Each structure stands twice: as C-alpha cells, then as structure tokens.
Structure 1
Amino acid sequence: MFDLSASIHLLGDLLGQVLTEQESPALFALEERIRALAKARRDAEQRGDQPAMRSHTAELAEIVGGLDLNAARAVASAFTLYFDLVNLAEEAQRVHALQARARELYPAPVSESIAAAIAALKERAVSPQQIEALMHSQRNELVLTAHPTEAKRRTILSKLQRIAEVLQQLYRADPLPHEWEAYRAALHAEITALWLTDRARTSRPAVTDEVRTALYFVDNIFWEALPRIAADLASALAENYPEVCAPSGWLTLASWVGGDRDGNPNVTAAVTAETLRLHRGLAVERHRRALHDLARRLSLSGKRVPPPSEMRAWLDARRPLPEHVAYLEARYADEPYRLTLSILAALLEDASHEDMTARLLSDSTHGARVSLPELIEPLNMIVRAVPRSLASERLQTVCQQLEIFGLHAVRLDLREDSARLGDALGEILRALALEVDLTPADAETRTQALVRVLASKQPPNLARQLGVTAETSETWALFRLLQRARDLYGRELFGPIIISMTRGAADVLSVLLLARWAGCADGLSIVPLFETLADLTAAPRILGDLFALDVYRAHLVTCRNEQMVMIGYSDSNKDGGYLAANWALYQAQAQIAQVCSEHAVRLTLFHGRGGTTARGGGPAHRAIRAQPPRTVDGRFRMTEQGETISARYANADLAHRHLEQIVSAVLLASVEDEAAQPASPNTAWREAMAEMSAMAYDAYQALVMQTPELIEYWRWATPLDEISRLHIGSRPASRRAGQLQVTHIRAIPWVFSWMQSRFNLPGWYGLGSALAALVARGRLRLLRDMYERWPFFGALLDNAQMSLLKADMGIASLYSTLAPDQELAGRVFARIEAEFTRSREMVLLVSGYTQLMQNEPVVQRSIHLRNPYVDPLNMIQVEMLRRLRALDDAQNAEAEVLREVIVLTINGIAAGLRNTG
C-alpha cells in the first residue's frame, strides 16, 4: 500500500542522512532549524497569529542574513533536492491512485479516459457513421518546445528517473525485509549521487543540447506512450463500434527545438540540419533495436508457418544477403520471419552510418539509404502471415511505432518572425532587380504586390549565394534546406512553418513566395501566429483576406484545403493581462472557425500554451472542453513547454494519463450534441465578459504600461537580471538589446520573474477589479451562474485560484525591499497588494468557496504543504540578490558564487511551486 506521507518521510530521512555524511551534522541541524521556523511561521499565519508570524519571520531573516556563501549554497541545495524528491513521491502516489481506481472500476473505464469518451459517445447514441467521420478527421499532435523554462539538466533528469523507478518498485508489492533494505540502499546511493552532482549548467546550452533534452523524453517516454494511446483508441472502438476501424497517423509528435528561429540567432540552417540528423538517428536506432529483438522472438519455422509467396519473392530480391544476415540464414535454416526482420535491421544499421547533416548542406542528389515503405511493406506481410496472438503482441507495437515516429522521430516545425521574413524577401527582390516594393504602410498594397509576383509562372534563377546580407542569406538557406530535406528524406520530416507576429496576409504570402522559389511550396503548411490582443482581433479579417486570394487558394489545394492557425497565450497575456487575454483568445477562436467554415477550409487550431496559467497552462482536459463550440472537430495541436514536459511526461504512467485526457477531451468536444455539450455562452454572459475584459485590461494597462516606475520596480523586485543570465536556454531573454521595456521582453522571463518573487502577477492582475465592478452593479448571481454553467468561465476562475494560491504577498514584500527607492517601491507594492486582495476576495465570492482551490483539495493540500519549504528558498534568494547588487565589482569571484546560489534557489522555487514560466 502506497503511503505518501511515509514516502516523503523516507526520502527526507535519507536526504538528512546524506547531508550529515557528505557535509556535516552542523549543516543538517541548520537546515532543520530553518525548516522548523518556516513551518512555524506558516502555522502562525494559518491561525492568524500575527505576532508569532512576525517573530518567526524576523528569526528566519536573521539566520539567513548570517549565512556564509558555503552554508547558503548547501541549504539552498538541500531544499531544492527535497522538492525534487517530494515531486517524485507525489507522482508515485498519483500512479498508485490511478491504478487503484482502475482496479476498483474494472471493467468500467476510468473517467476522462479514451474508453470512457467512446463509451459516452455510444451512450449518447452517436451513430457509427458519425464516429467514422470523426475518426477520419482525428488529428492530435503535441509539440515540444525549448522555451527556457525547464531548469533541470539532462543528467539530473536521469538521476531523478532512477529514483522514481526504485520508488515504484518499493511500493509495487509488499517487499521482504531484505528487499526493503536493498531498495533503501539504492535510494540512498542515488540521492548521494544527486547531492554530489552540480545542478546548474556551467555554460548556456547549445541548441543541439536542447534538441537532445527533447529527444530524451521522446526516447524514454513517448516512444512507448504514444503507441499505447493508439492501442487504447483501437480497443475502445472494437468494444463500442466494432464496425469502425481505428484511424492511422492520427497521433503524432512534433518539436520546435532546432527549428525555432524567432529571436534566437543560434538556430541556423546548419543547426537545423544537425537537428534533423539527431531526430533520424534516434528513430533509426530505436527501430533497429526493435526489429533485432523481433527477429529473435519470431523464430517461427517456415514448415510450421509457411511464408506467403510475396515474402519469398521479397527475400529472393534481396540476395546476395548482407554478411551478417547470410550467417543467420545458414545458422537458422528455414526461419524466414527471423531472416526478413534481420534484413530490415541490417538496412537500418547501414542507414545509421550515413552523414545526413553533410548531405543536407551539400548539393548531393543521393536519397536516403532506407525509406519507411521499405520497412512497412515486409512487416505487413509478416502481420498477415503469423498467428494473431503473435501479431497483436510486440509486432503490432513495432508497426505502430513505425507509423507514429517514422524515420524522423518527431516532425520539426520551423518558426521565424514576420519582420525578419519580410526584410529578407525585400532584400532578395532588390538583389534580383525585381521592381516590387514591399515597404508601403498600406497592407493591401503590399498584398497585391506579392500576388503579382506569385502569379508569375517563371520563377527567377536563384543561386545559392544571392549577394545579400548574412541575415538574409541565412533565411534563404533555411528554405533551401527545407527543399533538400523534403526531396531527399521525405516531407514527413517537417511540420508547418510558423510566422510569429503575423500582421497581415502579406506575411503569409511572403513565406509562400520564398517557398515557391525554393521549390518546397507544395503541401507546405504555412501557419500565421496571432499573439497580441490586436493581432487576435485582426485574425479573422486577415484569414478572410487570404482565403479570398486565388493564388493562396491554389496553394491550399496542395494542402488538402487545410489551414492551421496558431494562437499565442503568452504575449497576449503580457499585452493585456490575464482576463482580457483569455477573452480575446476565446473570441478569436470562434471567429477564426467561422471564417474557415464560410470559405470551406478545414481548420486546425494550434494552441501555444505555456506551463503557468498566465501562459495558457492548467488542466488540459478541462481546457479543451472549455473551447468555443465547433472549434475542435477532431483536430487539436498544442505546445508542451519547458517545465510541463518533465512535470507531465517524466513518469510513463502519468504521461499516459495526461495523453488520454487530451484525446478524451478532443473526442468529446468534437461531437455535436447540444443536449450533452456544456452550456454555450448566452448574450448576458458574453456582455458580462466584454465589460470585465475592458475593465481588467484598463487596470492591467494602468499598472504595467502606464506606470513608468513599474519597469524599475520590476527590475529590482524580481530576479529578472539573474534569470536572463541563467544557463537554461539558448534563446536570449529579450527580443531586442538596449533599454528594458515590457514590450521587448519575452513573455517567459516576464512570467518567470514574477513567479519566482511570488507576486505571480500575470496570473491574476486585473481580475479583481473587473469582478468587483460587476458585483457592485448587482450582477453577482449572473457571475455565479457563469462560473457553474460555462466551462470557459469556470476554467478561467479556477486557474486564477491556482495563481492566487501560489502567490504570497508576504514573501513578495521581501523582494520589494530590494528596490533602492523604497518610496517608489512602497507605492507600486501597495497597488499590487490591493489588487491581489481584491482578486482573492472576488474569486471566493463568485465561486462560493471559503478557501482558494477548495474544489481541488489534493492540489490545495499539496501547495499548503510545500509553502513552508519554498519560503526559505525565497528568503535566501532575496539575501543573495541583496549582496550581489551591493558589490562594486559584479564580475568578481564572490559575485560568481552568489549567482550560483541564486541559480540554486531559482531551481528550488521552480520545483517547489511546480512552475517556472
């Protein structure tokens, strides 16, 4: 029986033992004293005992202020490692609870599972014809990104994974005493190794390091998890709709890592080529090992299971056999299945030796050494020939892995800023002496100029070197690489090309023109990304303009008349605040879907969600079910960013659970059934949201954009500068160098810095003012009705509850003391604190709760239990920031050690709050 408290106690005891052994008993005693005081401080807060709380806070501040750098580093490391261990224990407990629930409900399905969704559709009397249509349209894809929010090194991830495996073994069965001791010793050894390993990177990672980190999860989690999800859907259909076949190719994985150029000059064509090599290398090696293993398993005698004639012909066509395969044929006579699989494994072994990067960057015309059809065709012969019990076991999984991952592992998306693409095209046009002016301010003039160029049947003769600037040459090199990789290795290597900050139809046409000149336009999905509030508002008009152009409709024909549109949750929040951004996103989705429907274009919405609620995070199942009606239709694509990847996918069982919740929600949201669908927003609800959005926007703008001293305050009262120096991502923290402005800073460090300092401002600011205004107008009953019956508004308030509960104005006030101008800091902090109090009170009033997250007691308890351990890390961070900023020389040895401790606290706070940016 799994006991979470006992697990945390065991891991905490082992950590204490490691501290004593590897550091000193005195350090362990110091850490325990800080922990006890922090816990007593929180207990006093819960009781409302302000004198005791102030006393404990003062004593903690005195201890932390007296720490030397070595002690500060060790204490920060101890609390950080403690959170890593607690997270593992909580994950193991969740797995145990899921398994217990499945056993209890069997044979009924678990809620929010794929089986439960299909069963619910059958119960609603959804016809087999409707299900077949849904399966035909089903396309679900997760996209891994390298936004710098995952603060753990790959080395640390591997060690934590080993501890998690030991924990699972420990509680999977009732161990014998000697087994218990062996497990305990294994945990002790792994925690010791973790303690003695540097947590922070010594240098900023290269893009290829980030690629390898993403592939770590592909290799260790997704490779088995995605086929398992595909099998779940096939099984659910077989039970409820046996006449409907499970679709193929509906569940895939993509990545931005190595293809996302937006603001990252480190992503070049050469880096993207190397990324494709790493992707293919993983796929080839995983399939090679799987086929080698299958060859050993399928030692079927040709006499007992005669191979079909087509297989014999296939074998004969491949003679003379490779040396190793010929040896196997001589040794294992008349074992045609082993022989066939060995040949396939040998093909992949040969393919693993090709230098894909060099081939992509040269003018070589030699294609790939092996293609996916060469593997699938003989495997299908085997599936048809062998007994069903053999085909449905490992063989079927291997076939699914080939179908899902191909020889590319994940599809690589490409992304670039619209201004960079437009500048590059304009320079190329000038270099070619084409009289096309893309500079007019009028969007329609630019669009028509591009239409005229696209209408030309004869593309210009474009050399590899165009005689343009290095920046434009690099942009052109990307399109050349895209063309070569598609020609040599297949279109499946790539996802769409995404245009950041899309402002008009001309931005999309610019990409179409460059792709056409490079010879890679056919079938290329060109995706506008709408990020700011203004762009989200303009999105339906821009798409309507595009769809009205014959030249673009002709391109859509090559894309099966499908259009993907990406909406950004991060910049819209930074632009207008939490409530205004969410309402703008909701409206944009509904209107984009309407425009696509009017033009008979098949839409896929691509959700650029982050980890925190400020960046679109939150429970995925609920978020999908809260989408506007008729915007899903079986198609769903979303980013998995930064810390959400390790939080959701570090554990195979939890990864499966998260994935099945996504697919389940997509299935349910896609079937039109007014009686079963959640309530659609009525006029009164929409009017209320419009009013609140405007008021929340005004409140947010008044603080963030219209308060000049806010920038100075933010810079001093958060670890912004230190986050910019943190070696967790290859991308710069700001889009532009020079003077710091909110409009220039990236959304991730914006959210990260406010989260670290416990303001968590982007996740709630402005909400209280908006709700209070409607309550003052006598519309509390309307708001409560919206909360109870409208999934969108319910999710909006519940996600804000999470942000408010993780915020802490007491801790935030400590960061406020870092500002040199305390009079200024007092004014800004008072405004933030007042809105925090107002938001907390209003959310509780509308929800009817007496405590935040009262409707999620497990999450609420977890946050309450974590807070006493996060607080010391915040206090140490404040003290280290104070010392660092007081130094005359910010580059000396002491400064480097201070930064090292700050990085440790950043990691620890992120682990404790289970949020970064």
Structure 2
Amino acid sequence: MKLSQKEFVFNNEVVTRFDLYNSLFLTLPFYQVKYTGTLLPFFKSHVEEGISKKLSPVEIIESFFNKYQQYIKDADRFHLLFRFIQYIERQVVLFDAIEDSAFSKLETGDDSSSMQVLLQQVINQPDTHAKVRAALQKFSLRLVLTAHPTQFYPGSVLGIITELTEALKVNNINQIYLLLQQLGKTPFLNKEKPTPVDEAVSLAWFLENVFYQSASSIKEKLDTEFDFLAEEEHQTLELGFWPGGDRDGNPNVNLQATQAVTELLRKVIYRCYARDYKELRKRLTFRGVEQYMAELDKQLNKETRPVELHSKNQQAIILENLEAIKKVLQKEHDGLFSNLVDDLIRKVKIFGNYFATLDIRQDSRILRKTHQYCLRESPIRHRFPKDYYDQTEEEKLKNIRFVEADFYSPDLADDMVKDTLDTIRYMREIQEMNGEKACHRFIISNCQQASDILQLVNLFLWSGWKADSLTIDFVPLFETVNDLQEAAGIMEKLYTNPFYTAHLKKRNNRQTIMLGFSDSTKDGGYLMANWSIYKAKVELTAMSRKYDIDLAFFDGRGGPPARGGGKTHRFYASMGHEIANDYIQLTIQGQTISTQYGSVDSARFNMEQLINAGIVSALNQENGDTIDENGRELIQNMADESYRYFMELRGNPLFLPYLEHLSPLKLLSEINISSRPVKRNSGAELKLEDLRAISFVTAWSQLKQNIPGFYGVGAALKKMEQEGKWEDLKNLYRQSSFFKTIIDNCMMSMSKSNFNITATLANDPVYGAFWTMLKNEYELTSSLLLKLSDTKVLMEESPVERQSIALREKIILPLVVIQHYALQQLNSPELNQETTNLYNKLIIRTVYGIVNAGRNLA
C-alpha cells in the first residue's frame, strides 16, 4: 500500500530519527547504572512477548529476572525497575521532542482546516475577502489555561525539551548529546505537592515561551491580510488563566494565591515587554525618539521603574509612547524598524497589563453558603424575607433584592465564606491595577438554578461594588446531564429578570455560558455527554436569540476524547445556524497544552485551525451541520441506549472496587503533580459522585481500558443495527461532521486501549466476569465502528496519528506492566511495610510516564 506524503515524512522525520537518537540515548549512564540502557531493549522485547502470550505482569517480570542471575536480591530488582522507569520517562521526552521538531514538515499547509488555506482562497475573491474581514471583526478565540493534573513537567525539564527540539530541527548532534545527558540528570518529579502558585508558574512558562510569540504572529498575519487599523481593531485572540483563581473543590486556592498569581502574570508580561524593548533600543539609535524611549525605559525596566508604577495600569502610556516613536520613524527615518515597533504595539494590545485574564471559579454550594451567611450577619438582612432560604425558586426570584452595601467579612467567618467575600472585593483591585480584562469573569460551578447567579450578584453588591459599574461577567457552568437539560429554562429566568437584563445591557448584551464535559461523561457516558451538550447548545442559542442576547459558549474540554477533547476544531467548523458560534472559548489543560501548544509552531497551527473553524462556520451558517429530525432521533436513541448501558455499569457493585484495587486510583492523591485532591470531600469514604473526572479518566487509562471514551457506544450501535437503521446511521456518519467527530474521537480513545495487558483477569474469581463484560463491549464497539466507517483498522483515516499513538504505547508498555506487577504484588500477605512502600513508589513513578506519554490521555 502506497504511503501518503505525510506518512512518508513521518517515517523519515520521526520514526527513523527516534530509532537513531534512541540508540544514542541508551548508551548514556544514569546515576552510575552502567548496564540499564543495554538491558532495556531486552526487557521491552520480553514484555511484548509476554503480553502476546497473555501472561500476567507477575509472570512477565519474574521470568525476566530469572534470566539474569545477578538480580536475585529484591533490592537489586527494585533498583533495576526504577532505572528502567527513569529511562522510559526520558524516551517519552525524546519522542515528543523529535515529533515536535518535525511539526512544520508534517503540517505542510495543505490541510483544508488551516488558516493559510483560508487566506489563499480569499486573496483573489473580493466578496469573500470582505465577508471574512467582517466575520473577524466580531469573532474571537479565547484559550483558557487550566492546571488540571494531566501532564506536568517541571520548568527545568520544559526548558530542556525546548532546547532539544530546536537542536533536533538542525540535527546538532553535539548539542543533542549534551541535552540528553542533562535530561538524564534532571529530576522529573516534584519532592512536594505543588501549590496553586507553583502550578501558575509552570503554566506561565507556556505564556512566556509560546503564546507571547505565537498569538502576536497570528494577529500580524490577520492585520496584514485584512488591513485592520488601530482604531477599528478587535481583539481576535485572548488568553485566560485558572491557576490561582479556580477554587472549585481545591482547598489550597485562596486570596493569597490569587494575589500572588495576579502579581506573577503582571511580572511575566513585563519581562517579555522588557526583552522586546531591549532589542528595540539596540536599533532605534536615531534622533527624535529619545524622550519616548526614556519613558518606555521607565515603564518597562524593573531597574528604573518607580515603585508606584507597580500598582498602576501602564498599558495606555506604553502604547502612547510606542505610537509616538512609530510616527517619528515614518516621518523622519523612512519607517526604518517600524516593524519592530508594530510588533510590540500588537503584543501590548493583546496582553495588556495582565497577560491572561484570571478567571475566578467557585462551586454554587459555597456561594449559597456565603449568601446565607451574609443574610444572617450583614446590614442588608432586613431587605430580605426571614424565610428566604425556605422559599421555592420562584419565590426567591420574586423576593431577591439588589441593594448596595460595604460589608467586610469578619475574621470569625468560615474560611470559605471569608475567602469568597475577600476575593470578590479583590477583583476590583485587580481591575484597578491591571485593567478590566485582567479579571472580569466569575464562573459558578454546579449551577442549578437562576438564583445561583443572582445571589452571586448580591455578593458583589454587598462587597463594595456598584450596580452602575459592575464590570463583571457572571458565567454559569452547566455540567451534569440533568443540569444541561435544565440550562435553557434557567437562562430564561435570568433574561427576564429586570436587574440582570439591565446588567447585561451594560456588558454589551453578551452572556457567556460554560458547558463542562468531564463530569457529564462520568455522569452519563460518552455518547450521552456529547449529545446532551449539543442539545443544550441548540436550546440555549434559541433562548438567547429570543431575548436578543449575544451568546458566547465557553467549553470546558479536557485533552482526551473521554473529557471532550480530540479533534476539537471539527466541532466548531461544523456548527450550523442552530448554535451560536461567533466566539470560540475553551479550556486547554495538561497534556493538551504541551501537545498542541508546547511550541510556537504547534501553538500557531492549532490556534489558526480554531480561527479557521470559527470563520468557516460564520460563512456557512446555512450549510453547516444542522442535524435533521431523523438524525436527531437516531442520535437520541443511541444516547439513550448508551446511557442505560453505562448506568448499568456504574450501578454494578464491582465498579468502584475494580478501579480501587486494580488501578492506581487510591495512590493518585500521593502523586506530586497537582495541588488538587483526587476527590471532593477528601476525608470521606470514596463515592463516585465525589471522584473528580480527571482521576476517574486517569484510573481507566492506567488500566489501558479507557472505559469513559467508548463504553456503551457498541451497545447503541448494535441496537440501531437490530432495528434496521444501519443505512440511516451510515448516512449520518457521512453527512454530519458532529456525529463523525464523535465516532472518530471514540476510535482514538479505543486505540489507546489494550485488554491483553490485563487478560489474566478473565479468570479472576472476583473480577473475571466484570473484566469480560468490559472486554466484550470493547470488541463489539470496535467491530461496529469499523463497519460504520468502512475501514479495516481503528483510525485508518488518520494514519500518522494512529502510528504516533502506537509508537507511544509501545514505548510505555513496560511501564504499564511494571505498574500492574506492583499492584498485584501488593496483594501478597507476607509484605512488610518497607516493601509495601517500594511497590507503592513503583506504581506512582509509572503513573508519571504513562500520563506524560498520553498526549490526549484517554
């Protein structure tokens, strides 16, 4: 079979080069372990052979050690296994760096979803050019970086990866060899759990080293192509930030963290500006610019900056001086180096005084508790009925009052209550220091009723904010299947509330609504989650248009398909007129950040894809993916069947015990990659509803079973086939980009599953039948997906991605086997505490490598 050009490039630039540099890598001695690199290939081959024979992990590991008599003692065996893990972790980094170095060659620009193709199409088409320009004047893309623990390398490792990628681009052997040695000596693990500020520092690395350049270069391309003038400029690209602001279930995020992250973001953006200014100063040695350069020096250089400037929004004065310099250059110096000035102007306009908008998020239950406290303790309590909290929702909406007060939370208040009120007050300080866009959104998690939003408005008005200058957007987050069904009705109650309507008018009549994917997957399974969000978008769009509200959807999507990721741009490009799509806003997190936005090239490409998707959708609203009644009925029937099947699985008494005993779920809380607990109510007994979606998905991915990404899909497809609707289903797959993307992402999730690793569980007296049920659904889903897509292997239409996944899975297969070996050994009754601790440490260390290799984990 003839290879495509992209496959040919991938084989040459990635596969062959990985084999070459990996052979060099294996000769490096780490921590005086001379023969680890020599033994690792033999160990990998032994593991692969054992898996093919469906041996247990214990049998595989023990038979390997029996071949090498020098590893008789337990201490020597543990030592070697830890060294294997050390090597494999770094092999993952090497593969990442090689793949990233080949990015520009793999993404050649012939992809129809790239912005370059869109620009080429409009060059000689004046009408289309005008339409695209008009669409861009309204459209905006906001990427929000979150600190969810799905991949975190320390900053030192990220720096090495960046340098290694650049060295690989030019095949600098000496530099590559030095960096590989440095990589071998550099710790991958944090000694202690990171704080929210530590997480912010990690993500700020991407802001400074990736987004600062990539976002401005995209804006330059758009400005050049469409002749956008400064006075008509619209902020096409925006960045958001959650570390230090996201309080939902994270007890470590508090006012002090918010203050520290606010200062961090400002410090980092000024460091970027100062670096650019230094380059500018080298070039602008002409007369006429001295006074403006001196003012910029005062504003941007920390050595010369007066203390009072640290608490002022300097964006306007920086832009004023840059514009003045540009005029001098154009008038007196033939515009020499104006491009450098334009570049800095563009960046200051995009990133302002704050770099990325800090979102504040809190659970509605905490906000209700805070509101109830204020009604009991604050001076405005007499304005509300005494039985307000015993009233129905309709009665609350009639009786709620919007009065202003200046209530300071006393020190004796509950910590969460005090933090909520103090943070609301501090948001105004942030806006005064860094501008309104620095912190203008409060997200209400677990939003279940209109009063959740209106009571939050109360908290702002009681904390010194004024109704006429309430420069805050209140963003409800609907996440569970039930909340998604109720969302449109909740928003109608808000749109008909006089105070809230008046507030929206002051906010340009725009309402942002966040829709979360992760918990809806855990709540109702893969198909129901996707379909519930789609239906909610249709209903919310209709409701917003009914009241003439400009709606922006903010999508909480994780990296893996099981958490809403995958080919995200396809969803946005396919939206028809039923769904508001003028703005694209989504979370990016963990391995999604490092995979899709880990380098300037990849970040630029993926942002351009999303911009292209938004513009294509705007231009083709009438021809977009509006699913007809028959298609809706098909998907609804599938979602219902999938939901029934998934809920049966959740209701199985072995469901949680299976995860607890056979995956590293219980040990995830000991992994120092996140400040967040694995579950809410951390001191209580483990319940599925308290388990965080990330922990839920991670546990299944460590098992290499990825249940959240496919379970129930096969059952739903089978039902459609039995009811004689298969041809209708195939037509839907061909015609609906939405449905095709769901199916294709499901295939991606299944491509990272490998039931052979746990095959011996089929005979387990406790879990055998449960494991067999999961395996049967996997095989059913796989066979019917291939039949539906007319393909012979999963992801056949994406051969390069399929090969990349296969290579990653091959690299980490020994880690998975070591992990399951350790988990099985923990069941031995003879273990002492010291040995138990060593097995736990083995498990924890393997989790890092498996997660980091995931790049769209499940």
| TM-score, with length taken from structure 2 | 0.91
What is the correspondence of 1:818-857 to structure 2 with a 5 Å cutoff? Answer: 822-857=764-799
CA shift digits 1:739-773 (9 cap, x unpaired): 11111101000001101110100000000000000
Alignment of 1:883 with 2:833, yes or no, is no
What is the Cα deviation at residue 79 of structure 1? 1.7
Q: Is the 8 A contact 1:529 1:568 kept in 2?
A: yes
2:86 aligned to which of 77, 88, 111: 77
Report the CA distance shift for 1:770/1:20 in structure 2 as closer, same or farther (over 3 A). Answer: same
Partner residue in 2 for 1:517? 462
Distance 2:535 2:794 in 1: 28
Partner residue in 2 for 1:720? 665
Report the CA distance shift for 1:813/1:430 in structure 2 as closer, same or farther (over 3 A). Answer: farther
2:42 aligned to which of 33, 55, 61: 33
CA shift digits 1:159-212 (9 cap, x unpaired): 222211211122xxxxxxxxxxxx323222221221222222111101110010
What is the Cα deviation at residue 118 of structure 1? 4.3
CA shift digits 1:271-300 (9 cap, x unpaired): 101110001111122212322321221112
CA shift digits 1:399-432 (9 cap, x unpaired): 1110111111111000000010011011111012
Counterpart of 2:593 in structure 1: which amino acid?
Answer: I
Aligned to 1:280, the other structure's residue is in SS state: helix
Alignment of 1:368 with 2:311, yes or no, is yes
Stretch deviating more after TM superposition (504-513 or 11-20)? 11-20
Q: Is the 8 A contact 1:114 1:233 kept in 2?
A: no
Distance 1:275 1:405 in 2: 15
Partner residue in 2 for 1:913? 854
Q: Is the 8 A contact 1:724 1:732 kept in 2?
A: yes
2:743 aligned to which of 792, 797, 803: 797
Counterpart of 2:292 in structure 1: which amino acid?
Answer: T
CA shift digits 1:130-176 (9 cap, x unpaired): 44542331221100001111232222212222211211122xxxxxx
Report the CA distance shift for 1:745/1:565 in structure 2 as closer, same or farther (over 3 A). Answer: same
2:558 aligned to which of 606, 610, 620: 610
Aligned to 1:386, the other structure's residue is in SS state: helix
CA shift digits 1:328-357 (9 cap, x unpaired): xxxxxxx2314412321222335997889x
Alignment of 1:872 with 2:814, yes or no, is yes
Partner residue in 1 for 2:292? 340
What is the Cα deviation at residue 237 of structure 1? 2.3
Distance 2:707 2:611 in 1: 32
Aligned to 2:742, the other structure's residue is in SS state: helix
Q: Percent identity?
A: 25
Alignment of 1:529 with 2:477, yes or no, is yes
Counterpart of 1:584 in structure 2: which amino acid?
Answer: S
Partner residue in 1 for 2:3? none
Report the CA distance shift for 1:251/1:694 in structure 2 as closer, same or farther (over 3 A). Answer: same
Counterpart of 1:606 in structure 2: which amino acid?
Answer: F
Q: Is the 8 A contact 2:512 2:554 kept in 1?
A: yes
Partner residue in 2 for 1:305? none
Partner residue in 1 for 2:396? 446
Q: Is the 8 A contact 1:530 1:567 kept in 2?
A: yes
| Length, aligned pairs only | 829
Report the CA distance shift for 1:383/1:634 in structure 2 as closer, same or farther (over 3 A). Answer: farther
Report the CA distance shift for 1:626/1:440 in structure 2 as closer, same or farther (over 3 A). Answer: farther
Alignment of 1:380 with 2:323, yes or no, is yes
Distance 2:852 2:733 in 1: 31
Aligned to 1:823, the other structure's residue is in SS state: coil
What is the Cα deviation at residue 488 of structure 1? 3.9
Partner residue in 2 for 1:899? 840
Counterpart of 2:115 in structure 1: which amino acid?
Answer: I
Distance 2:714 2:746 in 1: 10
Counterpart of 1:385 in structure 2: which amino acid?
Answer: V
What is the Cα deviation at residue 58 of structure 1? 5.0
Partner residue in 2 for 1:276? 262
Q: Is the 8 A contact 1:207 1:258 kept in 2?
A: yes
Aligned to 1:639, the other structure's residue is in SS state: strand
Q: Is the 8 A contact 1:138 1:250 kept in 2?
A: yes
Report the CA distance shift for 1:888/1:282 in structure 2 as closer, same or farther (over 3 A). Answer: farther
CA shift digits 1:674-712 (9 cap, x unpaired): 3xx3442111111001101100000000001x1122111
Partner residue in 1 for 2:594? 646
Partner residue in 2 for 1:860? 802
Aligned to 1:439, the other structure's residue is in SS state: helix
Counterpart of 2:661 in structure 1: which amino acid?
Answer: W
Alignment of 1:188 with 2:177, yes or no, is yes
1:416 aligned to which of 359, 362, 378: 362
Distance 2:416 2:724 in 1: 58
Stretch deviating more after TM superposition (680-689 or 83-92)? 83-92
Q: Is the 8 A contact 1:428 1:468 kept in 2?
A: no
1:780 aligned to which of 726, 730, 733: 726
Q: Is the 8 A contact 2:47 2:60 kept in 1?
A: no
Aligned to 1:18, the other structure's residue is in SS state: coil
Distance 2:86 2:524 in 1: 37
Report the CA distance shift for 1:383/1:841 in structure 2 as closer, same or farther (over 3 A). Answer: same
CA shift digits 1:561-619 (9 cap, x unpaired): 11000000100100000001100011111111111111001011000000110111112
Stretch deviating more after TM superposition (864-873 or 55-64)? 55-64
Please provide the CA RMSD for this pair.
2.7
Aligned to 1:390, the other structure's residue is in SS state: coil
Distance 2:390 2:337 in 1: 63
Partner residue in 1 for 2:448? 503
Partner residue in 2 for 1:544? 492
What is the Cα deviation at residue 463 of structure 1? 3.1
Distance 1:260 1:61 in 2: 46
Partner residue in 1 for 2:608? 660
CA shift digits 1:86-142 (9 cap, x unpaired): 1211222222233xx35xx7xxxx632324224546788756664454233122110
Distance 1:506 1:465 in 2: 25
Distance 1:135 1:698 in 2: 43
Partner residue in 1 for 2:528? 580
Distance 2:752 2:21 in 1: 24
Partner residue in 2 for 1:219? 208
What is the Cα deviation at residue 863 of structure 1? 2.5
Q: Is the 8 A contact 2:663 2:823 kept in 1?
A: no
Unmatched 5+ stretches in structure 1: 46-51, 171-182, 301-334, 357-365
Aligned to 2:548, the other structure's residue is in SS state: coil
Counterpart of 1:146 in structure 2: which amino acid?
Answer: A
Partner residue in 1 for 2:234? 248
Partner residue in 2 for 1:8? 18
Distance 1:38 1:519 in 2: 64
1:555 aligned to which of 495, 503, 518: 503
Q: Is the 8 A contact 2:761 2:771 kept in 1?
A: no
Partner residue in 2 for 1:474? 419
Aligned to 2:137, the other structure's residue is in SS state: helix
What is the Cα deviation at residue 537 of structure 1? 0.6
Aligned to 1:266, the other structure's residue is in SS state: coil
Distance 1:186 1:88 in 2: 14
Stretch deviating more after TM superposition (857-866 or 742-751)? 857-866
Aligned to 2:311, the other structure's residue is in SS state: coil
Distance 1:247 1:160 in 2: 36
Unmatched 5+ stretches in structure 2: 1-8
Report the CA distance shift for 1:734/1:290 in structure 2 as closer, same or farther (over 3 A). Answer: same
Distance 1:196 1:413 in 2: 37
Distance 2:697 2:352 in 1: 36
Distance 2:619 2:654 in 1: 50
Stretch deviating more after TM superposition (133-142 or 712-721)? 133-142
Report the CA distance shift for 1:339/1:355 in structure 2 as closer, same or farther (over 3 A). Answer: closer
Aligned to 1:824, the other structure's residue is in SS state: coil
Q: Is the 8 A contact 1:114 1:232 kept in 2?
A: no
Partner residue in 2 for 1:565? 513
Alignment of 1:624 with 2:572, yes or no, is yes
Partner residue in 2 for 1:758? 704
Aligned to 1:638, the other structure's residue is in SS state: strand
What is the Cα deviation at residue 442 of structure 1? 2.3
What is the Cα deviation at residue 914 of structure 1? 2.4
